Amino acid sequence: MKDESRCRIRQLDEATIGRIAAGEVVERPASVVKELCENALDAGASVIDIRISSSEGRITGITVTDDGCGMNPEEARLAFFRHATSKIREIDDLPACTTLGFRGEALASIAAVSRVTLTTREKGTAVISGTRLVNTGGTMSGAEEAGCPAGTSITVEDLFYNTPARRKFQRSRAAEIARITGTVERLVITHPAIAFRLTVDGRERLAVPGGGSLYDAIIHLFGLDLAEGLVQVSADGEHVGVRGYLSVPDISRTNPYQIYLSVNSRPISSRLLISAVRDAYGTLLPGDRYPVAFLDFLIPGTDIDVNVHPAKREVRFSHEHDVLAEITALLKEALSSRVLIPGKDAGAAAQVAAGDTLTPVRYRPPDSGTTGVREPPVREQLLTGRQLRLTGSRLPLHGLQEHEPGRIPELRVIGQLGNLYILCSTPDDNLLLIDQHAAHERILYEQIGSWPAFRDCAQELIEPVVIRLSPREADLFSVALPLLKQEGFLIEPFGPQAWAIRTVPVTLGKTADPDTVREIVAELIAPGFPRGSDAAEHLRKIVACRGAVKAGAVLSPEQCDQLIRQLRTTENPYTCPHGRPTMVVFARKKLDELFRRT
């Protein structure tokens, strides 16, 4: 006799299986947008219209309408079944499959956790009426004939109504919308020939006319300024071809968020590919910087496995090592063929790319010594002088009082090493090295923290800095605006997707250069920037870092002394705000040992 109660393993029912599986495909509203748009692209659409509606801080509806091939009534019904697809018949079709979808899971998964209304009419047939189907939580709840244009329109409502945990995990409306805009931006980049329009609660967020090239799409989304700083790549190796654009080394970001990669036009995320791209720059970029890149890799279908993850954002390659090395080599070549290394006269800026499209490659001298170009010493000295004066006497700080005198011994400055380390000797002849940037960062950071309000220490710029952002960046930027305002930035809209920054915290100086301001904004809107109370703290760290004496700046002996005097006044002189040491000691005893003098 079978004892039911003793058997702990049970087969789950279909509905439960559906909801569990859905979790892998439909993580959040943006994944719904991604899947629906991919289906529209697979259906051969030339115009894709995405409408988002929201109420009370939540996204309540997503509608994607396309002018693609549409479906007949039977196909429309089948489309909701799990593993029902028109794109492959058997696993052997996968290598040759060029559509974005092939698993037949998306619609079933979306329907399992929402209410989906599908309205569709097959293109190019004599039938004049279409089909409307409603599917709620995986169950077909309505089917009727409907008058509609050829193509497909899918509306998703009540998303996650039956998976409360997932619903709760949704971030704020603004954050979800930024993700959606980001998703659409990626699709625009991989499919520049298609017209996309995204509206949120009736307001247009993004609209590209289609019919263009990748370069047009980049200009449209990110502006001419960025586009002009890109180098075109079109190269083929033994295992992989590369098409797209790469930034010149003086355009870089603190994280890889603007590296857009796709394999055979499928957007993907891959750390390995990102490092392969980064490696092509070698020392052209400082170690912690990433380029901007829009690259599609062409790899034979037989050499890749796209079926790694349900959301299809990952791929595996055969000959992985060779493919990655080849990508780095091809990109390196593309970069070096464009005379990107500035000569002695960095002022001879405008370089015209040899041959083909004649894309002008602008090369402005960077603002720090980090890419190998130095500013003229006089200007540098003036800048450093200003930065040190700022933290010296002019600021409303708590007097130049040393905290617990004697913590840092008397120091005699010996000199500066590598335009970064201040070498000092202590009274007992120990050798002490100070990292000038880290030390000044600490000083600034503590002063900023002691100001009653950062805002009171703002100053007007001689010339406002105008920044232009992509639609997704603009979404994230609007979220950050109140914080920036609170911290002393006066920012006004300046045309579509552009803002004029009129005042900045005093640490950035009256002539803050656009790059520095853009950097701060880029860090603010980068993924992973903390929200809530940590945000202000984080912003202050960034401003301290940007306003601090640079690594690479030449310091006079007086300036070294000045810096050390100021460091003594800090509460925690030993580390910078990011926790890195500001000073390191080599004990005399240790040196003696090294010279075997003991």
- Return the number of the residue (19 or 173) whose C-beta is nearest ligand ADP: 19
Regarding 43 and contact with ligand ADP (CB under 6 A), the answer is yes
Nearer to ligand ADP, 79 or 539 (CB): 79
Whole-angstrom distance, CA of residue 223 vs CA of residue 498: 10
What is the nearest approach in angstroms of ligand ADP to the Cβ of residue 86?
3
Contact 471, 520 (CB under 8 A): no
Question: Which residue is listed with tokens 């049970």?
Answer: 10
Measured from the CB atom, the residue of 83 and 321 that comes closer to ligand ADP is 83
* Joined tokens for residue 347: 């002022």
Count the Cβ atoms, other than its own, within 10 Å of residue 35: 25
Q: Which does 512 bind (CB under 5 to 8 A by kind): ligand ADP, Mg ion, none?
A: none
Shortest approach of ligand ADP to residue 470 CB, angstroms?
A: 26
Query: How many residues are listed for the chain in this entry?
Result: 598
Q: Which is nearer to ligand ADP, 42 or 446 (CB)?
A: 42
* Both structure tokens of 557: 């002996």
* Whether 526 contacts 352, CB under 8 Å: no
Closest CB 311 distance from ligand ADP, rounded Å: 11
User: What dihedral do alpha carbons 578, 583, 586, 587 form, nearest 10°?
Assistant: -110
Instruction: Indicate if the alpha-carbon torsion angle 419, 424, 430, 434 is positive or negative.
Output: negative
Closest-by-Cβ residue to Mg ion is 101
Sheet containing 293-298, strands listed edge to edge, beginning at the edge strand earlier in sequence: 230-236, 241-247, 293-298, 259-263, 266-267
Dmax of the chain from CA atoms?
99
Nearer to ligand ADP, 102 or 297 (CB): 102
Which of the listed partners (Mg ion, ligand ADP, none) does 295 bind, with a CB threshold of 5 to 8 Å by partner kind? none
Stretch that binds ligand ADP, among 9-17, 35-43, 224-232, 444-452 (CB under 6 A): 35-43
* 8 A C-beta contact, residue 170 and residue 176: yes
Binding residues among 121-180 for ligand ADP as defined by CB under 6 A: 152
Q: How many CB atoms lie within 10 A of CB 376?
A: 9
Q: Cβ neighbours of residue 235 under 8 Å, at least 6 residues apart?
A: 241, 242, 330, 331, 333, 334
In the 3-class helix/strand/coil scheme, how is 367-436 assigned residue by residue? CCHHHCCCCCHHHHHHHHHHHHHHHHHHCCCCCCCCCCCCCCCCCEEEEEECCCEEEEECCCCCEEEEEH
SS3 40: helix
**Burial class of 403 by CB neighbour count within 10 A (0 to 12, 13 to 18, 19+):** middle
Q: Which of residues 277-306 bind ligand ADP (CB under 6 A)?
A: none
Residues 442-471 that bind ligand ADP (CB under 6 A): none
72: Cβ–Cβ under 8 A, 6 or more apart, which residues? 122, 125, 127, 131
DSSP 421-470: EEEEE-TT--EEEEEHHHHHHHHHHHHHHHSS-GGGGEEEEEEEEEEE--
Quick one: what does residue 85 bind among ligand ADP, Mg ion, none, with the CB cut-off 5 to 8 Å set by partner type?
ligand ADP
Binding residues for ligand ADP, rule CB under 6 A, total 24
Min separation Cβ 131 and ligand ADP, Å: 12
Please, which residue, 100 or 177, has the CB nearer to ligand ADP?
Answer: 100
- Paired tokens of 354: 């040899």
By a kind-dependent CB cut-off of 5 to 8 A, residue 43 interacts, out of ligand ADP, Mg ion, none, with ligand ADP
Under rule CB under 6 A, residue 34 binds ligand ADP: no
**Minimal distance, residue 35 CB to Mg ion, in Å:** 5
The two tokens of residue 428 are 């007992």
List the structure tokens of 233.
């790549």
Q: How far is the CB of 103 from Mg ion (least distance, A)?
A: 7
Q: Which residues contribute to the site for Mg ion (CB under 5 A)?
A: 39, 101, 106
Segment near ligand ADP (CB under 6 A), from 40-48, 360-368, 402-410, 528-536?
A: 40-48
Query: Does 252 sit near ligand ADP (CB under 6 A)?
Result: no
Q: CB-based contacts of 556: which residues, under 8 Å, 6+ apart?
A: 381
Among residues 30, 32, 33, 40, the one that binds ligand ADP under rule CB under 6 A = 40
Helix (H) / strand (E) element for 267: namely strand 266-267
Choice between 22 and 242, CB closer to ligand ADP: 22
Which of ligand ADP, Mg ion, none does 71 bind, CB closer than 5 to 8 A by kind? ligand ADP
Q: Taking the CA of residue 562 as centre, how many other CA atoms within 13 Å lie in the half-sphere pointing to its CB?
A: 17
Residues forming beta bridges with residue 206, ordered by sequence position: 198
Question: Toward ligand ADP, which CB reaches closer, 43 or 277?
Answer: 43
The pair of structure tokens assigned to 441 is 């960062």
Q: How far is the CB of 162 from Mg ion (least distance, A)?
A: 22
Stretch that binds ligand ADP, among 62-70, 201-209, 296-304, 432-440 (CB under 6 A): 62-70
Minimum Å distance from CB 85 to Mg ion?
8
Q: Return the residues of window 65-124 that contact ligand ADP according to CB under 6 A.
A: 66, 68-71, 79, 84-87, 101-108
Task: Report what 86 binds from Mg ion, ligand ADP, none; CB cut-off 5-8 Å by kind.
Answer: ligand ADP
CB of 12 to Mg ion, least distance (A): 24
In the list ligand ADP, Mg ion, none, the entry touching 87 (Cβ below 5 to 8 angstroms by class) is ligand ADP
Contacting range for ligand ADP; rule: CB under 6 A; set: 37-45, 278-286, 377-385, 547-555? 37-45
In the complex, minimum distance from the CB of residue 205 to ligand ADP, in angstroms, rounded to a whole number: 21
Residue nearest to ligand ADP (CB): 101
Our CB check for ligand ADP shows the closer of 306 and 373 to be 306
The CA distance from 340 to 421, in Å, is 29
Question: Residue 567 CB, nearest distance to ligand ADP (Å)?
Answer: 60
Q: Which C-beta is closer to Mg ion: that of 192 or that of 310?
A: 310
Residues 98 and 264: beta-carbon distance below 8 Å: yes
The CA–CA distances, whole Å, from 536 to 448, 484, 540, 543 equal: 11, 8, 6, 10
Cβ 64 to ligand ADP, closest distance in Å?
A: 7
Q: What is the token pair recorded at 366?
A: 């960077």
Chain positions contacting ligand ADP, by CB under 6 A: 35, 39-40, 42-43, 66, 68-71, 79, 84-87, 101-108, 152
